[in-house]
Amino acid sequence: MDAGKSDAVRAYVLDRIKVEDRGHSTPCWVWQLSLNTAGYGQGLAPGAARVEQAHRFSYRAFTGPIPDGLHLDHLCRVRDCCNPAHLEPVSPAENARRAAPFMLHSHCKRGHELAGTNVSVGKWGRRCRLCKNEWARANTTRYARSGLPVANPRPVCAKGHPLTPENTIVWKSGQRRCRICNVAWRAEHDDHRARFRSARLRAKEVAARETGGDGLRAGSDQDVIARRHGGGK
């Protein structure tokens, strides 16, 4: 990064941070613009062709280039911090090792302790089993699969038909459907299939008339060649 561009990026960063004490030995430069889904600051630095993480172009502007194959580790553990003094280039393995203790929270966001049988481990990581069960009970479909009565079922369908026991269809998944709407949907579906079959039969009849029944369109090159060799009618 040349000197002129570095000066522009430095000014860009300093205008978009807020100096805060977040518990580290020196204050953090907290990014004030948008954050990505992982919580890192992001922006379009001067001269850049695309949006990039703010701590990366801040490090390059104030410290120097990032070594190939290395990640920038936040020593302050504040993801939206752009202070180059809080950033250290490390290998991906070392970055993951340092982050592991901070990723293992002792409690979920609702205050439940993440220990013992209250921890559910899946592809999205560790989850609170109590919160997961509460979410499942709030979901009508999953709650219905459990065999328990549905909490606060809807009295009418989307079109206003009353969902009485006689007018309710319960699928194997536990979902409740309006019988009147289901019958109307099936009738419309059957009518669509009948019209489709009728149109396809008409297309076949037209094709048969045009080809004379032998699969060759009248007047086509294949039809002329077949007639010359006695194959046509």
Report yes or no on 98 lying in a domain. Answer: yes
H/E segment holding residue 156: none
Token code pair at residue 185: 């949907």
Report yes or no on 123 lying in a domain. Answer: no
Report yes or no on 124 lying in a domain. Answer: no
How many domains are there within the chain? 2
By residue range, what is the domain housing residue 212?
A: 155-233
Per-residue pLDDT of the chain (233 residues; tens, 9 = 90+): 666 678 899 999 999 999 999 889 999 999 999 898 888 999 999 888 899 999 999 999 999 999 999 999 999 989 899 999 999 999 988 888 887 666 667 777 788 887 888 887 765 567 788 888 777 666 655 445 555 555 556 788 888 888 888 888 877 666 778 999 999 998 988 888 888 888 888 888 887 777 665 555 555 555 555 555 555 44
Burial of residue 54, with CB atoms counted within 10 A of its CB: 0-12 exposed, 13-18 middle, 19 or more buried: buried
User: Which amino acid appears at position 209 of this protein?
Assistant: R
> Checking DSSP bridges between strand 176-178 and strand 71-74, what pairing results, if any?
unpaired
Model-level pTM?
0.47
Task: Find the angle CA(16)-CA(20)-CA(22) to the nearest 5 degrees.
Answer: 130
Query: What's the CATH number where 42 sits?
Result: 3.90.75.20
> Checking DSSP bridges between strand 125-128 and strand 119-122, what pairing results, if any?
antiparallel
